Structure 1
Amino acid sequence: MTATRFRDSARYWRTPLLPGADLLTAEYHDHAFTPHWHDAYTIPVIEDGAESFRYLGSEYVAEAGSVPVINPGELHTGSRAVDEGWRYRVMYAPIEFMHGLAADVAGRAQPLPWFGADVIRDLDLAHRLSRAHRLLEADADQRGGFRGIAADEAGMDSLAVEGALLDALSTLLVRYARTRPEPLRPIANDPRVETMKERLATDMTAPMRVADLADAVGLSPFHATRLFTQATGLPPHAWRTQVRLQRALGPLRAGALVADVAAATGFTDQSHFTRHFRRVFGVPPGRWQSS
């Protein structure tokens, strides 16, 4: 019997019960995510099919029932690992929220939580995360007056929904959080890399040449590019594009026009912005914004 092929369909949404977070309910077949990062903890639950992704220099496969957590700021990709594709639910949990929850759970100040690269295979945790995500989506639908499939599950009040969220995320922290290890490569802490990052990120609309970066750190263009790529995993132009995309999210959330956001963050035009945005978030910026 042939498995059902998933379609490329994604819905981003938000909830006041997890302030500052983006949440995603999606399935993918043809779409492949280019190398990118998020300024939040990426906490997915694979519900069906399997996803393949590259992370911290290795290739991984996350199948149904697994939880492939990605730490903030870490490059990763994403594509189907099986013919039918994959379906998942994702919480992009803010750093401040997870850090505060870790301190609440421990009863004292904690270092920033960090998760190992290996895919978490814990069916109990996956069930807790999936249930919390579904209840949050149902609650968000009810608040918005929308009654979809998820809304049929909403038979409890916000206290219970928030309780399921805290239960799921605290279970993740207690079982799998650790302290971030020191970089294995000294190059990751090279001050010349930080100088180049600062130059690239200072003004997103200003034109920039490799020679400008090289002059700032006293290297040739070739050696400056190689040093930067080895340290960050992306060449300077691709790294700058990722910063532009992350900076675009705030104005989009605030309701700014997509064309204005594109111009303010240094993209050539709206179509250029849309093309890069879709590669990272799976939907055009206007649709992401409308959630």
Structure 2
Amino acid sequence: MTSFRDLHKPGQPFILANAWDAGSAKVLKSMGAQAIATSSAAHAFTLGRPDGLGVTRDEALAHAQDLVAATHLPVQGDFENGWGDDPDTVAQTVKLAGEAGLAGICIEDLKTPSFAAYDRDLAIERIRAAAAAAHALPRDFVLTARADGIMTDTYNIDEAIARLQGFEAAGADCLYAPMPKSMADVARICASVAAPVNVLVAGPIYTAQSISDFAKIGVARLSLGSALARATQRVLHDAAAQMFDATQNGGSFSLLGQSISSDKVDALLT
């Protein structure tokens, strides 16, 4: 099996498939996924919580271990801000993630739950501590550093690039700025750093692209975030609306007739 680190090749992006339980992880593996990631939002949905309320570190670690056991593919943890503001807490989160069998984690530069950005120097120091902890682990571990301020309109592309360059210098293995304003901005990010770059495939700009489009500008990894889980929720929503909203359509069940067969699901799971 190709190692998680070796999958990261600029210009040859692979899909890091975000799963939300053992079943979805197994289906994604059967369909061709080379690596799995958790999604903090998708995991929260399975717990009956809205995106934003989040999960605890212990919950996230236990959930990640379930995905590791489900497929034996490399698994990355979506570990938000590392469950602490100070660098030592982030380093401890990395240590625990390695002990849980994860192949890597991503760490954000936003405070939880306010989503205010850490000062750049502190954000870099947090990644430096995380990288030191990752390098001390007995097995290879890929640390992804995230600059989330573009997505939240906290800072602009120039600040994001400055942070990503700082994260790279601090020892991050992969760099990630979710939801830049354009593909041109993604190309600019890729050109500004040497480390592999991850792109979130969500929203109208990025879901309209092909893998080859991302390859041309030097992207190394394509993650889905909660997009696939939200697509699944959309099917649940639409089928339930059709069934229960009798005033609109008479309580139709036609969408259930479009479901995948049990035999196909069983085959994917086994």
Q: TM-score range by the shorter chain?
A: under 0.3
Q: Normalising to structure 1: TM-score of the pair? A: 0.25
The structure where strand makes up a greater share of residues is 1
Structure ranking higher on relative contact order (CA contacts 8 Å, 6+ apart): 2
